[in-house]
Structure 1
C-alpha cells in the first residue's frame, strides 16, 4: 500500500495563486510567484524571512540564471529581471494575437533552455501553446492547441519531458531531444480520477519519480517512472499547485497552494489556503533546479 504523508504549514502567506515554486541552492531560499497577486515571494527553509517584490504584470513562472537574475514568463511574454537593482527588461511578446491567453507553467530543461507555456483565461480553450527559449529574441513552439499548460518537468537524464493540459485529466510523456529541444512520441503517462482534481504542476526526483500537484484534489501524488502511483502527500487545502525539492539535502518537499475564486465561506473552511506547505521525505531526494544558460538579447 503506498505511503500517505501529511504536509504541514510552513508559511501562512495566503496567496491568491502561489505557483512556480523552486529552491535556490546557493542562496538557501525558496522562491515562488503569486500570479494574481502580481508578486514574487521568497523565504528561508524554515519559513522565516519572507519577502515580496511587486510587479505590474502577473508572473506565471521563472528561471534563474547563473548570475542570480531571472527570466520571467509573465502574462504577455518573457522579461529579464535583476533582483539586485530591481531592473526589469521586456524581451519579447508571446501570443500577442491571442488576447485571452497568458503564460503559466515553465522550467528549464537539463541543458538550460527555458520551456514554458500558456493558458486560455476564457474557458481553457485549446488556443495556447508550449514554447522553448534557448536565447535570442524568439521562442520555438513545441506543442499547440493547449488549454492550460502545466506539469512541465524533465527526467533526470533529460530525455523525457512531462506535460499536462489542466483542461483534462492526463499527464503526458514525450521523448525529448537534448540536442535540439524537440519533442516527439507523445504517450499517456498517468491519468487522474474524477475525485482527484486536475493535474497541475509537477517536479521530478532523483529516481525519476514525478510529483504531481492536484488542483482541487488536495494532494501531491508521486508517480513512479512507469506511471504507477506511489507516495501521496495530503494537504488540508484543496487547490494544490506545484511542489519542489529543497533544503540542504534536497529531501524536503515544499508545496505551493492557492485560494483562487474562493467565496468567504470557502475561505473560512480553508483558512490557510494560498500558503506554502512542507513535507519531510525519508530516503528520496530531488535534483537541483536547472538554470537558464542561453544568451539574452542586449
Structure 2
C-alpha cells in the first residue's frame, strides 16, 4: 500500500499532465519546465510507487496498466492538495470561455471536468453564442478564450482539429425540383451560412430564407420541425435529421478548422489552455457519425 503522504505534488502533477497531453514535450511546456525535468520527476514517482507508470517509445507515449489504475487516484490527490491550498486564500481565479454554437458543445462536460480537476480554485464561466458576438467580446477583453470555426479574416489561434459540414433536414422533408431551397439561418452575418449560400449561387441553385432565428439552437429546432434545410457540422447535427446533399443535389461544402483563441500568457492560464485543447481533441465525436446515421435512415426509408 502506498503511503500517499510521502508523494511529491510536483511529481504527481507531472504524471497527470503527461497522461492528459500524451507528450513529455507538451507537458513540460504546460508546466513551464523542461522535458528533462519532467522525466526526472516521473522517474522519482515511479520509484516511490514501485511501478512503471508511463510507457514511452519514439512514436508513442501512453500509460502502463499500473499508470491507468493510478491516474484517478493521482487526480484526487492533486485535487485535495489544491483545495487545501485554495482554502488559505479568499481570492479565486476566473476563466471565461466562449464556445460558438455552430461548433457545438458535446465536449463541454469533459472540458469543464478536466479544467476543474486541473485547477479546483478556478471559477469557470462559459458563454455559448454566435461566433461573431464571441469574437467581438474576445477582442474587447471580455472573454479570456474562445473556441470557434476559423474566420476567413483571422489566421491566429491554435488549431484543435478539422470539421466538416453538410446539408441537413428531416427524413420526410419535401423539396420540389426547380423551387428555391428553403433555408433556416441564425444570422445574415453567419460565416457558415455565407459559405453555403455562395456554394448554392455558384451551382446555380435558387434559395430563400424560410426561417431566420435568434441563434443556432432556434435554427436546429426549425430544421427538426421540418420547416427548412440548414447547414451543420456533421458532429452536431440535430437529432432526427439526416444529411440530404445527394438527395437534393446540393453542392459539397468546404471543411473548416476549429480554433482556440486566447491572449492569456501567465503560466497557470497557459497550463489551463493546454488541458482545454487536449480534452477537446481527445473527446471530439467522430465526424463520420452523421454519414452513418444518414445511410441507416435512408436504408430504412427504402425498405419501408
Quickly name the TM-score band, shorter chain normalised: under 0.3
Report which of the two has the higher share of helix. Answer: 2
Higher strand proportion (structure 1 or 2): 1
- TM-score when scaled to structure 2? 0.22
